[in-house]
């Protein structure tokens, strides 16, 4: 009797996730379901957690973030103005306050009137207690507030908004694909304009057909359609909780799918991420900027759905991070606390 051959079951590895873009009236594109930054801490996240340790740390952060430098300059100017006011008050009785006036004027002479010339030296000359009492609370408050778009617009990262994220996505795409999709990159409608955006100049259905024919993992929807689809999905979940498409599947199968995702070649690009592993080893992931933005987008969606993701996800390659989050969202199950090592 001939031996029968059993075919190994095929694992359901998700295809490359689709990134959606909402098309507003006029063609302006916004990355769908994108969680936008609201406070300066969220916009300037590269320096928001690096300045508080000492005056030197804040000075270094000022070099990286011009609006933060303006905030410190304002604190410096207020401090200097207080000395000027104290001198004026003391001079109402100059004879009685002669020594105090001399001390205040000597202090004032060491503080240049222009904050660009004096703020940095003043900051670095503060004691720890002076820094913590007079500077830290004001900068903490500054980071907790929304940015002043009139003054900070040129310094705010594009990826802080859904419109900016879409712009960066298509900026990083090759010119031929952008042209085939019918997308225009607008960097100011006229001299002095602050309108920067990616715009779809043609029909949505035509653009989606082009995306499919080119094998591009993106789609366009009319503004509001993405939100409507989300509400529809939520209503289908019902009181019994999310309906998982892997219901009944053994946990080991799910872990194997995650292992398969992590084993796939992630690709390369000019964008880089540097991470330090728990072992102390440093790794650098390289990918396209579009992949980096997509990973950020799906990580935010994962956090909104499940809360803080497991720590191991942050050190995964952006390509894998995006696919893992997409898999979890599609199947309505959070990722395991421990990495799915072989």
Nearest to 180 by CA among 213, 146, 135, 132: 213
pLDDT along the chain (342 residues), means of 10: 48 63 93 88 89 95 95 95 92 86 92 94 95 95 92 86 91 90 85 81 93 90 68 42 36 76 75 75 76 77 86 87 87 88 66
Question: Apex CA 63: angle with CA 292 and CA 67, to 5°?
Answer: 80
CA–CA dist 57, 336 (Å, integer): 36
52 — phi, psi (to 5°)? -80, -10
Which residue is listed with tokens 């302006």?
28
What pLDDT shows up at residue 71? 96
Sheet (strand 29-31) strand order: 29-31, 19-23, 218-222
What pLDDT shows up at residue 230? 43
What pLDDT shows up at residue 1? 47
CA–CA dist 42, 146 (Å, integer): 9
What pLDDT shows up at residue 232? 45
């Amino acid at each position: 009797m001939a031996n029968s051959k059993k075919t190994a079951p095929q694992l359901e590895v998700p295809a490359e996730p689709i990134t959606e873009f909402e098309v507003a009236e006029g063609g302006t594109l916004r990355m769908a379901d994108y969680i936008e930054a609201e406070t300066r801490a969220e916009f300037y996240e590269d320096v928001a957690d690096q300045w508080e340790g000492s005056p030197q740390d804040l000075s270094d952060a000022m070099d990286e973030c011009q609006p933060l430098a303006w905030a410190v300059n304002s604190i410096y100017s207020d401090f200097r103005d207080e000395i000027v006011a104290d001198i004026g008050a003391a001079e109402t009785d100059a004879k009685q306050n002669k020594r105090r006036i001399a001390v205040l004027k000597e202090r004032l002479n060491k503080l240049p009137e222009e904050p660009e010339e004096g703020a940095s030296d003043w900051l670095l000359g503060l004691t720890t207690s002076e820094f913590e009492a007079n500077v830290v609370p004001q900068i903490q408050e500054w980071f907790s507030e929304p940015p002043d778009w009139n003054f900070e617009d040129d310094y705010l990262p594009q990826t802080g908004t859904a419109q900016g994220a879409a712009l960066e996505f298509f900026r990083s795409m090759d010119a031929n694909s952008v042209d085939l999709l019918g997308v225009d990159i607008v960097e100011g409608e006229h001299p002095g304009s602050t309108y920067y955006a990616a715009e779809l100049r043609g029909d949505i259905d035509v653009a989606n057909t082009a995306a499919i024919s080119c094998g591009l993992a993106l789609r366009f929807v009319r503004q509001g359609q993405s939100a409507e689809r989300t509400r529809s999905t939520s209503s289908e979940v019902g009181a019994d909780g999310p309906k998982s498409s892997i219901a009944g599947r053994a946990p080991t199968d799910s872990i194997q799918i995650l292992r398969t995702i992590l084993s796939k070649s992630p690709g390369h690009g000019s964008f880089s991420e540097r991470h330090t592993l728990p072992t102390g080893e440093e790794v650098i992931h390289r990918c396209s900027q579009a992949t980096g933005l997509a990973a950020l987008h799906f990580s935010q969606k994962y956090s909104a759905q499940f809360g803080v993701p497991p720590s191991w996800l942050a050190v995964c390659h952006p390509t894998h991070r995006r696919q893992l989050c997409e898999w979890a969202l599609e199947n309505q199950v959070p990722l395991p606390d421990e990495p799915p090592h072989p």
